[in-house]
């Protein structure tokens, strides 16, 4: 670079540094044992992957081994009880079903609506739209327990003052997964090529007609996949619910709007898992198996959906 020519763009800088590294790497001092070192390197990489996979396997196997003894219909029909023989997850399952049902009702219109606005209507150059963009990305990474505090301060108490009811838990979970739904929906909507919109508008369709009849139908498989994945997260999330009244000892099936105590599957599992008795912990493991089975079903459905209906442009 003796004549003072310096790459100025980021791209050029990266290319130059890459070239420099490659040249030095290739022509620099080669250790005599480089073959051995390469082999060790690959070995280490392989070990890393194996440890990760092993960890996953151990989690699943451990849960299965611990809980298989408790796999029976009583798991689903048994009530919360301190007697490990009779205890089950009935209330928790009802609670989770109600929770997820309401979450879906809230998150689908709000999430798709926000995604449609941001992708189809908003002028992307404006600063406030970019702020909303950044905001949503940040919200997707806020710890779950902070959402619990939010729910506690605004929904259970505060302005909405709904009390410690299940519906409050649902609203909180909905806020928790909404950013993920918005982000996934936006990707799906963005994947629809602009030529489709142009073709529709050029025929004299209005913007909403174009969205409703062309863009949305084409984006639905991707949107649905995103929603299912977000719901999966909501099913397994316990931390915020702890703050909203789910930690009580409940022996009857919850009512969504009644201030009479409620629980959910992950919370119940947590309670069983935290107890010292071995028997009760086996119950927790069985609950985990149940929850994982449900999640496996949901995710497989999502993958099937995507493979079957995905539009290839």
Partner 1 sequence: MESGALAASGGPSTGRLEAASPRYGERAIRGLLAFCAVLSVITTTAIAVSLLGPASGFFEVVAPGDFFLKKEWAPAQDLFGVLPLVAGTVNVVLWGMLFAIPIGLGAAIYLSEYAPRRVRKTVKPILEILAGIPTVAIGFFGVSFVTPLLQDVWPGEFLGGPPGFFNALAAGICIGLMIVPIISSLSEDAMSSVPDGLREGAYALGATRMRVATRVVFPAALSGIVASIVLAISRAVGETMIVLLVAGNTPNFTINPVENVQAMTAYIGVTATGDIATGTTEYDTVFAVGALLFVITFFMNITSIRLVRRYRELYE
Partner 2 sequence: MTDEAEDRRTAREEGPGAKDAMATAHGHEPHLRMEALTRHDRDDLASGEAVFTLDDVTVTYGSTPAVRGIGFDIYEKQITALIGPSGCGKSTLIRCLNRMNDLIPSAKVEGKVLYHGEDLYGPKVDPVQVRKLIGMVFQKPNPFPKSIYDNIAFGPRVLGMKGDMDEIVERALRRGALWDEVKDRLDQNAFGMSGGQQQRLCIARCLAVEPDVILMDEPCSALDPISTGRIEDLMLELRKNYSIVIVTHNMQQAARVSDMTAFFTVELDEDEKNRTGRVVEYDDTEKIFTTPSDARTEAYVTGKVG
Q: Which residues here bind partner 2, judged by CB under 8 A?
A: 123, 125, 193, 195-196, 198-206, 209, 213-214, 218, 311
Residue 205 contact, options partner 1, partner 2, none, Cβ 5-8 Å cut-off depending on partner type: partner 2
Tell which positions 33-52 bind partner 1, by CB under 8 A: 34, 37-38, 41-42, 44-49, 51-52
Tell which positions 140-199 bind partner 1, by CB under 8 A: 141-150, 152-154, 157-158, 175, 178-179, 182
| Minimum distance, C-beta of residue 12 to partner 1, in the bound complex (Å) | 11
- The verdict on 299 binding partner 1 (CB under 8 A) reads yes
CA angle centred on 228, ends 224 and 229, rounded to 5°: 120
Exposed e or buried b per residue across 181-210, where buried means at least 16 C-beta atoms within 10 angstroms of its C-beta? bbbbbbbbbbebeeeebeebeeeebeeeeb
Tell which positions 68-107 bind partner 1, by CB under 8 A: none
| Minimum distance, C-beta of residue 172 to partner 1, in the bound complex (Å) | 11
Of 56 and 76, nearer to partner 1 (C-beta) is 56
- Total interface residues for partner 1 by CB under 8 A: 99
Helix (H, G, I), strand (E, B) or coil at 81: coil
- The verdict on 203 binding partner 1 (CB under 8 A) reads no
Of 4 and 15, nearer to partner 1 (C-beta) is 15
Of 144 and 192, nearer to partner 2 (C-beta) is 192
Q: Indicate the helix (H) or strand (E) that contains 87.
A: none
Residue 199 contact, options partner 2, partner 1, none, Cβ 5-8 Å cut-off depending on partner type: partner 2
- Tokens 């493991």 belong to 285
Give the chain's end-to-end CA distance (angstroms, integer): 46
Q: Phi-psi region for residue 4, left (φ > 0), alpha (ψ -120 to 50) or beta?
A: left
- The verdict on 288 binding partner 1 (CB under 8 A) reads yes
Question: Which is nearest to 167 in space by CA: 74, 246, 80, 69?
Answer: 246
Exposed e or buried b per residue across 43-53, where buried means at least 16 C-beta atoms within 10 angstroms of its C-beta? eeeeeeeeeee
Of 206 and 248, nearer to partner 2 (C-beta) is 206
Residue 215 contact, options partner 2, partner 1, none, Cβ 5-8 Å cut-off depending on partner type: none
Task: Judge whether 165 and 232 are in contact, CB under 8 Å.
Answer: no
Residue 297 contact, options partner 1, partner 2, none, Cβ 5-8 Å cut-off depending on partner type: none
| Minimum distance, C-beta of residue 264 to partner 1, in the bound complex (Å) | 11
Binding partner 1 (rule: CB under 8 A), the pick from 36, 117, 257, 304 is: 117
CA distances to 24, 31, 39, 42, 142 from 35, in Å: 18, 9, 6, 11, 46
Residue 73 contact, options partner 1, partner 2, none, Cβ 5-8 Å cut-off depending on partner type: none
Residue 196 contact, options partner 2, partner 1, none, Cβ 5-8 Å cut-off depending on partner type: partner 2
| Minimum distance, C-beta of residue 121 to partner 1, in the bound complex (Å) | 6
Task: Judge whether 284 and 194 are in contact, CB under 8 Å.
Answer: no
Long-range Cβ contact pairs of 72-78 (< 8 A, separation 24 or more): 75/286, 75/287, 75/290, 76/290
And the tokens for 254?
Answer: 């919850």
């Amino acid at each position: 670079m003796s004549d003072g020519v310096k790459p100025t763009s980021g791209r050029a800088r990266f290319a130059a540094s890459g070239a420099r590294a490659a040249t030095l790497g290739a022509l620099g001092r080669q250790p005599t044992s480089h073959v051995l070192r390469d082999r060790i390197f690959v070995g280490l990489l392989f070990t890393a992957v194996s440890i990760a996979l092993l960890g996953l396997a151990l989690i699943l196997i451990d849960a299965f081994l611990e809980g298989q003894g408790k796999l029976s219909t009583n798991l689903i029909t048994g009530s919360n009880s301190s007697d490990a023989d009779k205890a089950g997850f009935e209330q928790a399952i009802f609670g989770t079903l109600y929770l997820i049902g309401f979450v879906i009702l809230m998150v689908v219109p709000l999430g798709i609506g926000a995604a449609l606005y941001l992708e189809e209507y908003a002028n992307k150059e404006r600063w406030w739209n970019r702020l909303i963009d950044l905001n949503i990305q940040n919200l997707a990474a806020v710890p779950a327990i902070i959402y619990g505090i939010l729910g506690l301060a605004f929904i259970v108490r505060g302005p909405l003052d709904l009390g410690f009811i299940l519906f409050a838990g649902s609203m909180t979970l909905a806020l928790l997964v909404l950013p993920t739904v918005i982000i996934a929906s936006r990707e799906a909507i963005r994947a629809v090529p602009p030529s489709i919109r142009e073709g529709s508008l050029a025929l004299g369709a209005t913007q909403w007609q174009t969205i409703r009849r062309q863009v949305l139908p084409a984006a639905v498989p991707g949107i649905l996949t995103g929603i299912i994945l977000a719901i999966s997260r909501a099913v397994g999330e316990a931390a915020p619910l702890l703050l909203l009244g789910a930690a009580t000892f409940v022996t009857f099936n919850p009512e969504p709007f009644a201030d009479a105590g409620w629980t959910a599957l992950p919370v119940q599992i947590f309670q069983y898992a935290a107890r010292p008795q071995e028997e009760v912990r086996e119950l927790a493991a069985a609950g985990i198996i149940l929850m994982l089975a449900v999640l496996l079903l949901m995710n497989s459905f999502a993958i099937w959906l995507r493979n079957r209906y995905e539009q290839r442009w």
